[in-house]
């Protein structure tokens, strides 16, 4: 199945490259047109990254660690979601300002997929997605909380089963859960999911505070 996805992703890269090249050469005369052009290019770049996620899921095991600021990290991930498209969904940030060590690219993929999952279940009635980031003496804790329809216990138990999805009609194929789980596992962390039917879902990413350990040494 992964080989099939990889082949499809490879074919899509060609189409996206064509869209990006043609968009880049469009002459814009007004600030509004320039803004629209930049938004198209921004979304194309996000799609290119998502395709790379599909190609590399389960295969890219090397971490590229660097210092990351929690506030900037969360803001950058949320900036990928165009407010004009998701006008019924509000983003809220409760983020403590600190620096930590991680593979920014892989962790961004994980957080992005958690947000996308929340959006899929909130498109019809809208709601709020709350991004939090905090730390204790041992862990970095990042969470994505939504006010969507939530899950029952049976569904929650299956959430990290490869290719399991309850959102097929909204374009879900269960790949996002694999990406989230793999990214956190590579960091030596864990994911905890809390959900209540009719109330919403919160996904917690626990990552070892490598920077803290290095300082102590």
pLDDT for 31 equals 79
Spell out the CATH class of 66-216: alpha beta
Asked if 108 and 73 count as a contact pair (C-beta separation under 8 A), the reply is yes
More confident residue, 169 or 9: 9
pTM for this predicted structure:
0.73
Average pLDDT score over residue span 105-117 = 89
Residue 189 has pLDDT above 70, yes or no: yes
Give the CA distances from residue 195 to residues 63, 84, 127, 145, 202, in Å, rounded to whole numbers and listed in that order. Answer: 30, 28, 15, 9, 6
Give the strands of the sheet with 139-146, arranged side by side. 89-95, 127-135, 139-146, 200-208, 190-196
Over pLDDT 90: what percentage of the chain?
34
* Rounded Cα gap, residues 158 and 201, in angstroms: 14
Residue 165 has pLDDT above 80, yes or no: no
* Rounded Cα gap, residues 81 and 84, in angstroms: 9
More confident residue, 43 or 166: 43
- Which of 65, 94, 91 minimizes the C-alpha distance to 80? 91
What are the domain boundaries of the chain?
A: 2-56, 66-216
Residue 10 has pLDDT above 50, yes or no: yes
Helix-, strand-, coil-residue percentages of the chain, each rounded to 5: 45, 20, 30
- Within 8 A by CB and 6+ apart from 76, the residues are 108
Residue 2 has pLDDT above 70, yes or no: no
Over pLDDT 70: what percentage of the chain?
77
Average pLDDT score over residue span 155-160 = 80
Average pLDDT score over residue span 68-75 = 96
Residue 216 has pLDDT above 60, yes or no: no
> What sign does the CA torsion over 46, 109, 111, 133 have?
negative
Residue 169 has pLDDT above 70, yes or no: no
pLDDT for 1 equals 53
């Amino acid at each position: 199945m992964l080989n099939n996805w990889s082949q499809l992703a490879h074919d899509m890269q060609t189409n996206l490259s064509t869209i990006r090249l043609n968009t880049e050469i469009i002459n814009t005369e007004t600030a509004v047109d320039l803004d629209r052009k930049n938004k198209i290019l921004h979304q194309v770049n996000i799609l290119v990254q998502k395709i790379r996620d599909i190609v590399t899921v389960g295969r890219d095991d090397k971490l590229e660690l660097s210092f990351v600021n929690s506030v900037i990290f969360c803001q950058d991930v949320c900036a990928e979601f165009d407010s004009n498209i998701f006008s019924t969904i509000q983003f809220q940030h409760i983020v403590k300002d600190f620096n930590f060590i991680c593979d920014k690219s892989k962790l961004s993929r994980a957080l992005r997929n958690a947000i996308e999952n929340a959006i899929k279940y909130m498109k019809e009635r809208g709601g709020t997605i709350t991004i939090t980031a905090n730390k204790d003496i041992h862990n970095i804790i990042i969470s994505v909380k939504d006010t969507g329809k939530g899950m029952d216990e049976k569904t929650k138990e299956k959430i990290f089963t490869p290719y399991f999805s309850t959102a097929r009609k909204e374009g879900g194929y269960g790949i996002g859960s694999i990406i989230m789980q793999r990214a956190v596992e590579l960091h030596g962390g864990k994911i905890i999911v809390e959900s209540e039917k009719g109330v919403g879902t919160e996904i917690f990413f626990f990552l070892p505070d490598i920077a803290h350990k290095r300082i102590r040494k």
